[in-house]
């Protein structure tokens, strides 16, 4: 899809020049690039790893090549807080750095950022650092996005129209995404250590601070993703506590209403008994007296419950 070199830049055309330093961005299904890799000593056994989306983060090195598998995260259509991971493959062989990814929009995003940072004359090892840094920055943006959404979720929990199912769903997907990012970041940290340690001493000195920067960013990702995992757990407990408190308040109101009508039911029950001699039955104002008594009792209990903040 893209070829970038010090002398030229081509889009939507793969033209590999043997003597020219080139950075190639394409998909693993590009047979021309795959054939070129095999013909230049890249092991055929790794081709299946390139095309396998279940391949985990890895670093391999052979005679004349370096092979790195990293992960990108793309938002799922199922939920804005669910991110699905896919493979990014970097192959450094001879004077070529080949970036392979199934998602064309991911390639376009990476190329757009890479072109702003890459300068003619930069070594391919430095270009590798730039690409890894861009991928890590993408994950940092996801962490920031999840952080913002968790703030909104926390506000929603305390709102009157809280939707428990929706919030539980969002927290579930946020936990899944954060857990993936945490695990991948730990694996990528090991890959970066291996990559750096396999460079010659002179190159390690030149790229020392660049790789320190990568490790710091990955350390941030690991720590922040774990912290936000704890935060999602806190929000789940907060939501359950809030819903339990709402239920308790509802039960309090129902109990208060029952308490108001309980003595009234007792009084009415007395006058529902079939006895011949009940003085109030023949009293002219008996009916009105019972109503006054009921209202007075109900009002007194209501005022008492209001002071106790039960209703």
Asked, colleague to colleague, whether 2-245 and 248-307 share their fold, the answer is: no
Residue pair 235/155 in contact (Cβ under 8 Å)? The answer is no
pLDDT band at 10 (very low <50, low <70, confident <90, very high): low
240-271 burial string, b = 16+ CB within 10 Å, else e? eeeeeeeeeeeeeeeebeebbeeebeeeeeee
What is the pLDDT at residue 225?
94
What is the pLDDT at residue 162?
76
Domain ranges within the chain, ordered by starting residue: 2-245, 248-307
Determine how β-strand 96-101 pairs with β-strand 58-62: unpaired
pLDDT band at 109 (very low <50, low <70, confident <90, very high): very high
Mean pLDDT lowest for which of 68-77, 103-112, 246-255?
246-255
**pTM (predicted TM-score):** 0.80
Q: What is the CATH number of domain 248-307?
A: 1.20.58.340
Tell me the three state secondary structure of residue 46.
helix
Is the domain spanning 2-245 CATH 3.40.50.360? The answer is no
**Residues 156-212 pLDDT 10s:** 888 767 788 889 999 999 999 999 999 999 999 999 999 999 999 999 999 999 999
196, two tokens: 């750096």
State mean pLDDT over 94-115: 92
What is the pLDDT at residue 135?
95
How distant, in Å, are the alpha carbons of 35, 51, 111, 288 from that of 292? 98, 85, 84, 6
């Amino acid at each position: 899809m893209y070829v970038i070199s010090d002398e030229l830049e081509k889009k939507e055309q793969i033209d590999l020049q043997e003597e020219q330093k080139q950075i190639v961005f394409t998909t693993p299904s590009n047979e021309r690039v795959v054939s070129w890799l095999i013909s230049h000593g890249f092991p055929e056994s790794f081709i299946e790893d390139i095309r396998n989306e279940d391949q985990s983060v890895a670093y391999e090195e052979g005679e004349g090549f370096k092979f790195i598998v990293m992960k990108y995260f793309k938002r799922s259509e199922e939920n804005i807080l669910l991110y699905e991971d896919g493979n990014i493959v970097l192959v450094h062989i001879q004077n070529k750095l080949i970036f392979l990814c199934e998602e064309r929009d991911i390639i376009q995003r990476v190329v757009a950022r890479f072109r702003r940072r890459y300068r003619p004359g930069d070594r391919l090892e430095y270009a590798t650092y730039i690409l890894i840094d861009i991928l890590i920055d993408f994950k940092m943006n996801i962490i920031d996005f999840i952080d913002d959404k968790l703030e909104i979720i926390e506000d929603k929990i305390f709102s009157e129209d809280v939707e428990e199912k929706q919030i539980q769903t969002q927290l579930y997907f946020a936990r899944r995404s954060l857990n993936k990012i945490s695990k991948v970041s730990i694996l990528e940290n090991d890959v970066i250590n291996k990559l750096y340690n396999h460079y010659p001493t002179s190159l390690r000195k030149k790229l020392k601070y660049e790789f320190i920067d990568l490790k710091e960013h990955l350390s941030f990702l690991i720590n922040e993703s774990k912290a936000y995992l704890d935060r999602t757990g806190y929000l789940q407990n907060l939501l359950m506590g809030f819903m339990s408190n709402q239920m308790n308040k509802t039960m309090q109101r129902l109990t208060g209403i029952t308490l108001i009508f309980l003595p009234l039911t007792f009084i009415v029950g007395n006058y529902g008994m079939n006895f011949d001699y009940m003085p109030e039955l023949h009293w002219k104002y008996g009916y009105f007296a019972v109503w006054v008594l009921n209202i007075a009792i109900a009002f007194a209990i209501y005022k008492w419950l209001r002071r106790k903040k039960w209703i």
